[in-house]
Amino acid sequence: MVNNRSVRPPPDSPDSPGSIGWVTPLRLRLATPEAPFQLENGTSIPEVEVEYETYGALAPGRDNAILVTHALSGDAHAAGWDRSAGEKTLSGRFKAKQEGYSPPRGYRQRKPGWWDTMIGPGKPIDTNRFFVICSNILGSCYGTTGPASLNPATGSPYALSFPKVTVEDWVRLQARLLDRLDIGRLYAVIGGSLGGQQALEWALRYPERVAKAIILAASSKLSAQGVAFNAVARYSIINDPNFNHGDYYSRSRPDHGLAAARMLAHITYLSDEGMNSKFGRRLQSRDKPDPGFDVEFEVESYLNHQGKSFVERFDANSYLYIIRAMDYYDAAERWGGGDLVAACGRLESEVLVASFSSDWLYTPEGCQQLVHAVCRSGRSVTYADIPSQYGHDAFLVETERVGKLLSGALKRLNPQRRG
């Protein structure tokens, strides 16, 4: 007989003591036709709605807030289990797919948030101590206004008429959200990859509002090689026969192009060592290669799966907008006239930068350039290069090492503004 009192739910269950449990996405309208959101490029968006989630409780002094910023294909669902992704939604989607219907992009499955291992009671970002906010970026397809949203002037999706957005725009919109939540100063802002660049921009744009900036697997700009990979991704999407100049929402979508873009991106997220360890040159089911062109290697099958699953949940136009913002972000140009040391002179927060040894998207060398610039500017910085075979994805995969790093950084943090 099983004693039910001794049975603990699995660690990734919503009933686990370390889980946030069920969460409900929240939305706020942060721009209206009377008060539009002004973009860095001089244009504006008349209506902006932002989706976000919060975890934990805001302290009476409102001084325990942590903003978590997500990466390229992430969303506001960083922890816990999304209550809106219920069984009814899943079964309805499956039936619709059987009938040949193309489900809307931005679909969320019933599973833990993308950083559930880090956020929760007793976890590195401890919700018994901190109030955590994560919002979806402008231009995405997960609840915040983007290319798939309806243009109020036409009643049709914006598609490519949606204005170009930047990392700076994302951060300014996040600041507007925090203003609405009556949070003046952040205990910390934490992000990895493209989220790490948002964390850096926060510390540079709003130095007085950030006590600590934690930047994982990110540097002050994307390398030329990274821009080149994004160029191929754009080419794949734009030249898909179904792209139709971005106007595909009422017809077949550019799934092949988006899948190819995602497959290419996944190669940059891994490392040679990791791919050899996980896949090697193993064939799926044959001892000898077939002279045909079907999927034969395990690594081919993995990439195919990543591409196919991605097109079921993401919008191709959003992908174009986000990777272009990724290309253009350059903290030195924005804040130092090309001089990163001068830009870092704006910092008032403590800064933690972590790179991963096998990351070749945001390399350790690129991260070290940022660290050296912070040092030369006379500001406080801690740097860790974490040994890992998992490449760029290590900031999500190396849960134990990253968890210890975050726990230590947040415990050491003095939330008072530097004098």
10-residue stretch averages of pLDDT, the chain, 419 residues long: 45 81 94 96 96 97 98 95 58 36 55 94 97 98 96 95 98 98 98 98 98 98 97 98 97 96 95 89 75 84 93 96 98 98 98 97 98 97 97 96 97 54
> Helices in 209-293 by DSSP H: which ranges?
224-238, 255-269, 272-278
Looking at this protein, which amino acid is placed at residue 339?
D
- Give the residue among 280, 271, 272, 240 at the shortest CA–CA distance from 257: 240
Looking at the chain, the domain(s) classified CATH 1.10.1740.110 span 224-328
Catalytic residue chosen out of the listed positions 193, 219, 358, 388 = 193
The pLDDT assigned to 287 comes to 65
Catalytic residue chosen out of the listed positions 70, 77, 266, 392 = 392
The tokens of 76 are what? 């506001």
193 is catalytic: yes
285 is catalytic: no
72 φψ region: left (φ > 0), alpha (ψ -120 to 50), beta (else): alpha
Q: Please, are residues 67 and 142 in contact by the beta-carbon 8 Å criterion?
A: no
CATH number assigned to the domain covering 4-223+330-412: 3.40.50.1820
Class of domain 224-328: mainly alpha
Mean pLDDT score of the chain, rounded to an integer?
90
The CA distance from 49 to 177, in Å, is: 10
Looking at the chain, the domain(s) classified CATH 3.40.50.1820 span 4-223+330-412
Place of tokens 């990979």: 229
Q: Classify residue 157 by its DSSP letter.
A: B
φ and ψ of 5, to 5 deg: -70, -20
Q: Please, are residues 105 and 314 in contact by the beta-carbon 8 Å criterion?
A: yes
Q: Please, are residues 11 and 18 in contact by the beta-carbon 8 Å criterion?
A: yes
By the 10 Å C-beta count (0-12 exposed, 13-18 middle, 19+ buried), 385 is classed as: middle
By the 10 Å C-beta count (0-12 exposed, 13-18 middle, 19+ buried), 101 is classed as: exposed
The pLDDT assigned to 295 comes to 84
Strands 48-55, 26-31: pairing is antiparallel
Helices (H) and strands (E) in the chain, counts: 13, 14
Catalytic residue chosen out of the listed positions 236, 359, 377, 393 = 359
The pLDDT assigned to 96 comes to 36
The pLDDT assigned to 61 comes to 96
Cβ contacts of residue 149 below 8 Å, gap of 6+?
49, 157, 158, 162
